[in-house]
Amino acid sequence: MSANIDREKCNERKTYAEIWPVEIDREKCDGCGVCVEICPMDILRLDENGKVYVKYDECWYCGCCELECPRKAIKLRLPYLVR
Amino acid sequence: MKTLKTDVLIIGGGSAGCLAAIAAKDVDSSLDVTIFEKGHIRRSGSLATGMDALNIVVIPGISTPEEYVKAVDKYLLHGIIDEELHHLLAERSFAMLKKLERWGIEFEKDDNGQYVLYELFPDEKFIVPMKGWNLKPILAREVARRKVRVLNHTMATSLISDFRRVYGATGIDLRTGEFIVCLAKATILATGGCARFGIPPSGYLFGTFDFPGNAGDGYAMAYRAGAILAGFEYLQYWLEVKDLNTPLGKEYWELGVKYLDSKGNEIHDDLEYSDPTLVRLLMNRETVYEKFSHLPEKTLKKIEQIIFSSERKLPIIRFFKERRLDIRKDLIEYDFEEICLCGGHGATGVKIDSNARTSLEGLYAAGDVAYVPGQMLTGAFVFGEIAGQSAANYAKTCDTSDINWDFIHKEEKRVFSPIKRTYGIKPSVFEFKLRRVITQYLTPPRNEKKLRTALWWIQRFKTEDVNRLKANDWHELGRAIETEFILDCAEMAARAALERKETRWGIHDYRSDFPERDDKNWLKHVLIRIDPETGEMIVFTSPVKRKT
């Protein structure tokens, strides 16, 4: 888990989770970081609780995160502008 | 700053890059091979979620390389072809299929054990379907098995060049911000095309057909290093599912699907290769509707199975869910969504010869960044392999040379300037403005006045805006550097379009001031290179060479 987490910024991002391209099950996510590592656009990060969140609005909606997540905690929905 | 020395440096770990790394190691396993990968090699590039077919396969006994060359020229390239390269691609395509089979990719066969073939061009069958969803993890496994050094989350920023020879590349670790100098005996560009070019009508900058991490990095770096490029007047531009911007597949086209215009009139012409029909639709701002509801349930089930198992099945499944689409009753809306530059489906790239050598010594190119128009995935694999072999053989004959460290220090300063500024323009806002100028002035139909207006904007962006970009973290710095790649690509596209005073490929290059094809004057490639003395862009032409 990265040490430099801007809590305020994370919370602001989470306020608008509705428009994120993915749905994240925060119960299932154990912060293994596989999706953070393999996302082709590199838009995912872990928050202060070690759970994944969408840091950058640059998703290509490929769904690699969903394909790779070992706990099925992340699911592609599509970015709001495309839905 | 970190300095690395390697025998073969490959920029981009996608389809072409992986094949290049594997081939270089197979020439000589003692060679030191390094990959710069912007994302993570397991899932990167336009092949991140795999591919459902190998699009160009010439199976001995069924078709010949000559037949393929004739077909690609007739339907796609319209006379602007380097026959030798396409011949080579076709010749090596079946061996490539066999290689992929050995690595565990399953290709579809009929009851007699023959490979299933679908039409690539009207009445020309070169597509072999495959179960390729795990293609990228498989390629990554083959790369790892050969002990290639992979630098994930590392983006190249420039080629180290004296305009004659290339000596490696500079890069940046997008997670730590470390500046990397990689000195290489041979360097291979495998960076893909420029997917982030026009803005899709949804307004979403990253909703592109090709992988949006490809921002024309390789085109711009090769140009700045002094290489010759070609085909920038040809835009990848076609009908895509509106907003989704991905095709649903191709294999079901032969199953009786209908295409309608907005008045409900059926369009009988081929919607990929019939230039007059496509031009008419574009000029009339027509939307095209795909109709399935007249088909029997058995066929509908088969079509659904094809659509929902294509290489981009997850976005397609979720799109149908969000829009509540059902092919039993709904029409699927298609439109001309976005222009982009690509050597795979389009015709733009760094010029290479049959050994994947560019015009600069020590620099090779393969995949969407290379000028083998319409080469598709098979081309990326075949020329990736050729580039790996050529680069390995070249690296064995030479030493790492001394380089110009002044250039390196200047490049480091340039790369980090958006982070060091206190105030400035947000890279995403600049990208929006740049790409809306590209959309407005470079999208066909276009004319001299529009193209000159594009150049006015490009000049202003170059002299003012790019020197005022402000990035807040390493990720955003990467995006800022990418906007400069897009900007160079825009200039090359505008200048090449001004040069070709005809319309050759219909919607792909339509000039309303020169709407006719002109074989007398324009059976030529339009080429671009930098003038090393002045830094100006030079546009020139060369005649089409036929295979002897």
| CA-based nearest distance A36→chain B, Å | 10
In a domain? residue B542:
no
In a domain? residue B541:
no
Interface A-B, measured as beta-carbon pairs within 8 A, has a size of 90
Q: Whole-angstrom distance between the N-terminal and C-terminal Cα of chain B?
A: 50
- Say if residue B357 is in the same domain as residue B264: no
In a domain? residue A71:
yes
Q: Do A38 and B39 touch (CB under 8 A)?
A: yes
- Say if residue B378 is in the same domain as residue B447: no
Six-digit token pair at B307? 């659509």
In a domain? residue A82:
no
For β-strands B2-11 and B332-336, DSSP reports them as unpaired
Query: How far, in Å, CA of B34 to CA of B5, rounded?
Result: 9
Q: Do B315 and A78 touch (CB under 8 A)?
A: yes
Q: From chain A, pick out residues whose CB is under 8 angstroms from the CB of B318.
A: 61, 63, 76-78
The pLDDT mean for chain B works out to 96
In a domain? residue A40:
yes
Give yes or no for residue A2 having a pLDDT over 90. no
- Per-residue model confidence (pLDDT) at position B364: 98
CATH number at residue B78: 3.50.50.60
Q: How many CB atoms lie within 10 A of CB B461?
A: 21
In a domain? residue B116:
no
Mean pLDDT within B477-504: 98
| CA-based nearest distance A56→chain B, Å | 9
Question: What's the burial of B516, exposed, middle or buried (CB within 10 Å: 0-12/13-18/19+)?
Answer: exposed
Out of B43, B152, B203, closest to residue A64 by CB: B43
Give yes or no for residue B17 having a pLDDT over 50. yes
Q: Do B319 and A76 touch (CB under 8 A)?
A: no
Q: What is the DSSP letter of B465?
A: G
- Residue, of B499 and B269, whose pLDDT is higher: B499
In a domain? residue A2:
no
In a domain? residue B83:
yes
- Per-residue model confidence (pLDDT) at position B217: 98
| Confidence at B266, pLDDT banded by 50, 70, 90 | very high
In a domain? residue B474:
yes
Chain B residues 162-201 with CB within 8 Å of chain A: 174
| CA-based nearest distance A58→chain B, Å | 6
Mean pLDDT within B66-77: 96
Cβ-contact B193, B343 below 8 angstroms: yes
- Per-residue model confidence (pLDDT) at position B38: 97
Helix (H) or strand (E) holding B402: none
In a domain? residue B544:
no
- The number of distinct structural domains making up chain B is 3
Six-digit token pair at B396? 């064995």
- Say if residue B256 is in the same domain as residue B377: no
Best residue of A34, A61, A66, A76 to probe chain B, by most B CBs closer than 10 Å:
A61
For A7-44, b where at least 16 C-beta lie within 10 A, e where not — what string?
eeebeebeeeeeebbbebeeeebeebebbbbbbbbbbb
Q: What backbone phi and psi angles, to 5 degrees, belong to B271?
A: -85, 10
Helix (H) or strand (E) holding B490: helix B474-499
- Say if residue B230 is in the same domain as residue B157: yes
Six-digit token pair at B206? 């990253």
Best residue of B38, B152, B204 to probe chain A, by most A CBs closer than 10 Å:
B204
Query: How far, in Å, CA of A63 to CA of A35, rounded?
Result: 10
The domain boundary residue, chosen from B336, B361, B390: B336
Query: How far, in Å, CA of B123 to CA of B112, rounded?
Result: 22
Query: How far, in Å, CA of B204 to CA of A59, rounded?
Result: 10
Percent of chain A with pLDDT over 90: 87
Sign (positive or negative) of CA dihedral B22, B26, B27, B32: positive
- Per-residue model confidence (pLDDT) at position B148: 98
In a domain? residue B222:
yes
Question: Which stretches of B15-82 are DSSP H helices?
Answer: 15-27, 65-72
- Say if residue B323 is in the same domain as residue B418: no
Query: How far, in Å, CA of B294 to CA of B260, rounded?
Result: 13
Q: Do B212 and A58 touch (CB under 8 A)?
A: yes
CATH number at residue B320: 3.90.700
| CA-based nearest distance A26→chain B, Å | 21
Cβ-contact B366, B21 below 8 angstroms: no
Q: How many CB atoms lie within 10 A of CB B339?
A: 24
Q: Do A40 and B208 touch (CB under 8 A)?
A: no
- Say if residue B414 is in the same domain as residue B514: yes
Mean pLDDT within B50-56: 92
In a domain? residue A1:
no
Return the half-sphere exposure (C-beta side, CA atoms, 13 A cut-off) of residue B542: 12
Query: How far, in Å, CA of B261 to CA of B290, rounded?
Result: 9
- Per-residue model confidence (pLDDT) at position B311: 83
The tens digit of pLDDT for each residue in B211-250 reads 999 999 999 999 999 999 999 999 999 999 999 998 887 7
Residue carrying the six token digits 């001299």? B448
CATH number at residue B410: 1.20.58.100
- Per-residue model confidence (pLDDT) at position A1: 45
Q: Do A38 and B315 touch (CB under 8 A)?
A: no
Q: Do B319 and A78 touch (CB under 8 A)?
A: yes
The closest of B250, B208, B241 to B318, measured between CA atoms, is B241
Q: From chain A, pick out residues whose CB is under 8 angstroms from the CB of B473.
A: none
| CA-based nearest distance A82→chain B, Å | 6
Question: What's the burial of B420, exposed, middle or buried (CB within 10 Å: 0-12/13-18/19+)?
Answer: exposed
- Say if residue B377 is in the same domain as residue B475: no
Q: Do B315 and A59 touch (CB under 8 A)?
A: no
Q: How many CB atoms lie within 10 A of CB A5?
A: 16
Helix (H) or strand (E) holding B453: helix B448-463
Give yes or no for residue B45 having a pLDDT over 50. yes
- Say if residue B439 is in the same domain as residue B516: yes
Q: How many CB atoms lie within 10 A of CB B407?
A: 15
Structural domain harbouring B515: 406-524
The closest of B437, B483, B529, B527 to B217, measured between CA atoms, is B483
Question: Could you tell me if B204 lies within 8 Å of chain A, comparing CB atoms?
Answer: yes
Query: How far, in Å, CA of B270 to CA of B258, rounded?
Result: 11
Question: Could you tell me if A19 lies within 8 Å of chain B, comparing CB atoms?
Answer: no
In a domain? residue A44:
yes
- Say if residue B302 is in the same domain as residue B427: no
Structural domain harbouring A37: 7-76
In a domain? residue B369:
yes
Best residue of B308, B318, B479 to probe chain A, by most A CBs closer than 10 Å:
B318
| CA-based nearest distance A27→chain B, Å | 23
The domain boundary residue, chosen from B314, B336, B358: B336
For β-strands B124-132 and B51-54, DSSP reports them as antiparallel
The closest of B189, B196, B498 to B358, measured between CA atoms, is B189
- Say if residue B55 is in the same domain as residue B140: yes
CATH number at residue A48: 3.30.70.20
Give yes or no for residue B298 having a pLDDT over 50. yes
Query: How far, in Å, CA of B65 to CA of B48, rounded?
Result: 29
Tell me which chain A residue has its CA closest to the CA of residue B39. A40
The domain boundary residue, chosen from B297, B312, B336: B336
- Per-residue model confidence (pLDDT) at position B19: 98
Give yes or no for residue B20 having a pLDDT over 90. yes
| Confidence at B270, pLDDT banded by 50, 70, 90 | confident
- Say if residue B348 is in the same domain as residue B435: no
- Say if residue B307 is in the same domain as residue B455: no
Interface predicted TM-score (ipTM): 0.96
